[in-house]
Amino acid sequence: MTDIRAELAALRDRWRAEGARKDLHHATMVIGWKICADELDALIARLPPAETGWQPIATAPKDGTRFVGGCHHKIYGWIWASCQFYQDDKYGMREPYAVMDGGGEPTYWMPIPAPPSADTLSRSPAKEQE
């Protein structure tokens, strides 16, 4: 079965790349590509969760939202860390890129789980951090 999220994310990324082209002469073209990509982001966000486990990095949010990213490291095996995508024109990085806290480039991602409920915390013997 085709992963519609990955297809929509690829289309969104293509539209963002089109809007970032240096040869576009009209601001309305740039704005138009951005609006299309933003609307596609909104549609992707409204899709029901595809799965709760690890997903291909192409489907990760590209809006600065933090997520758990993971990859296989040749020495340490599977590693994971908090991640987010960046887009930085200052260094010529027009395409969004992700960096794992502590280094590495994630190949899979999953949403950061919700924190424990107040009820769960009240039953836990662990002390809260200050």
In terms of domains, do 19 and 72 share one?
no
Q: What is the pTM of this model?
A: 0.50
| Residues 34-91: tens digit of each pLDDT | 888 888 888 877 776 656 688 888 888 877 788 888 888 788 788 888 887 766 655 5
41 and 58 fall within a common domain: no
Q: Which domain holds residue 90?
A: 52-116
What's residue 1's pLDDT? Answer: 35
78-127 confidence digits (pLDDT tens): 888 888 776 665 555 455 566 665 567 888 988 888 788 887 777 777 65
**Chosen domain end from 10, 34, 50:** 50
Q: Output the 3-class SS for 34-93.
A: HHHHHHHHHHHHHCCCCCCCCEEHHHCCCCCCCEEEEEEECCCEEEEEEEEEEEEHHHCE
pLDDT at 119: 79
Asked whether residue 68 falls in the same domain as residue 107, the answer is yes
